[in-house]
Amino acid sequence: MTEALYTAEAHVTGGRNGRGRTSDGRLDLDLRQPKELGGNGEGTNPEQLFAIGYAACFGTTLALLGRRGNLEANDAEIDSSVSLIPIDGGRFKLGVELRISLPSLTGHQAIELAETAHQVCPYSNATRNNIDVALVVNGTRL
């Protein structure tokens, strides 16, 4: 295995109704079930954390690829949705939608850049063939 460039470490107690913190103390928060799942909604849930992480990673990938291709992608904005979807046998799966705005790029440039980013982004690679990920780029669903 190749040596990691960075490793994030976190500790969680109590699962979805507990507390989570990173080893460096930068993130320390209450975890709670959302109201839609019977919780009080008074904390953060794993789907929210995943949504932020995926959007941040994808945005960085867009900017990096944009620079490499002499395209302006630093103004990208991403709205992400992570859904918890029931499936057979009382199990659940995740679904993701990334709504990507690249105002400095034309429709074709934006779509091409987003498709390439989806092949490069570590979150996209981790989820590929595991969960459904939909991309919407400048209003166009891919």
Q: Could you read off the pLDDT of 52-71 as tens digits, one per residue? A: 999 999 999 999 999 999 99
Say if residue 111 is in the same domain as residue 127: yes
Given pLDDT bands bounded at 50, 70 and 90, which one contains residue 45? Answer: very high
Say if residue 38 is in the same domain as residue 105: no
Say if residue 82 is in the same domain as residue 38: no
At 93-108, the pLDDT tens digits run: 999 999 999 999 989 9
Say if residue 61 is in the same domain as residue 131: yes
Dump the DSSP string for 40-100. ---SB-HHHHHHHHHHHHHHHHHHHHHHHTT---TT-EEEEEEEEEEEGGGEEEEEEEEEE
Say if residue 61 is in the same domain as residue 104: yes
Say if residue 37 is in the same domain as residue 66: no
Given pLDDT bands bounded at 50, 70 and 90, which one contains residue 4? Answer: very high
For residue 104, what are the domain limits?
46-141
Rounded to two decimals, the pTM is: 0.93
Say if residue 53 is in the same domain as residue 3: no
